[in-house]
Copies of this chain bind each other. A is one copy, B any other.
Amino acid sequence: MPGRKAPEATRREQILKAAYEVALNRGIDGLTVRAVAARAKLSHGLVHFHFKRKAQLVSALLDWVLATTTVLHVPAVIARIPRARDRLRALLRQEMDRLAKEPRRIRLFFEYWALGTRHAPTRARISAELDRYRAAFRTMTAEMVQREPGEGAGVTADGLAAVAVSFVNGCAVQAMIDPTHFDIDQYLAAVEGIFG
């Protein structure tokens, strides 16, 4: 029954939500226009009406995934911690907790990542997003290097920030691979055991 109106924004959101669900269940390859339409209980023609090309749909979904995954929020409780190093550790812990709770979205994020390897625009957007994420850590690591010099030779603020991001990534991957056997406390204790 054509003609049933719905505000443009609403329909787009509805379709995007359906696309997200399909991508979670079937992966990016399984993200077909028809599957999304079926999930949203719409005709595939309508999906093409709101997103002229499939690429636009995939791109819009990437926007959403990035906006909800790689945004670093520093709560006041952490910001108040005096020592930079402790603050960084607390922040890492927060991010581990946050990402470990959403292994499915993380998996989707990595699928986009793999896709980016063969698709320059996607790669550029993910890369830019990770740069911002790293920059958010950098202010903290800069303070660390400044206040605690001589700790390690050749350790720069950039290097520390890169490691922080990489560390979070590693944990996210681990949580994605084996969500049940991932214990954050064990993990942190073991890291200090090896490198402390």
Residues of A within 8 A of B (CB): 25-27, 29-30, 85, 88-89, 92, 107, 110-111, 113-115, 117-118, 127, 130, 144, 151-156, 159-160, 162-164, 166-167, 169-171, 173-174, 177-178, 181, 183, 185-187, 189-196
Q: B residues within 8 A CB of A113? A: 177
Q: B residues within 8 A CB of A185? A: 154
Beyond the given pairs A107-B114, A162-B186, A166-B173, 4 more chain A to chain B contacts, judged by CB atoms under 8 angstroms and listed by A's residue number, are A30-B118, A130-B177, A155-B186, A191-B195
Verify B114–A186 contact, CB threshold 8 A.
no
Cα–Cα, bound, A195→B183 (Å): 18
Nearest B residue to A119 by beta-carbon distance?
Answer: B27
Verify B115–A27 contact, CB threshold 8 A.
yes
| Most chain B CB atoms below 10 A, which of A88, A127, A144, A194 | A194
Verify B160–A190 contact, CB threshold 8 A.
yes
Shortest A194–chain B CB gap in Å is: 6
A193 is contacted by which of B155, B186, B187, B191 (Cβ under 8 Å)?
B155
Nearest B residue to A111 by beta-carbon distance?
Answer: B114
Cα–Cα, bound, A49→B33 (Å): 33
Given contacts A27-B118, A113-B177, A170-B171, contact A152 B193 (CB under 8 A): yes
Cα–Cα, bound, A159→B182 (Å): 9
Q: B residues within 8 A CB of A92? A: 194
Q: B residues within 8 A CB of A114? A: 27, 107, 110-111, 114
A to B CB contacts below 8 Å, 6 in the list: A110-B110, A130-B177, A152-B192, A166-B171, A169-B170, A170-B171
Shortest A42–chain B CB gap in Å is: 24
Nearest B residue to A188 by beta-carbon distance?
Answer: B195
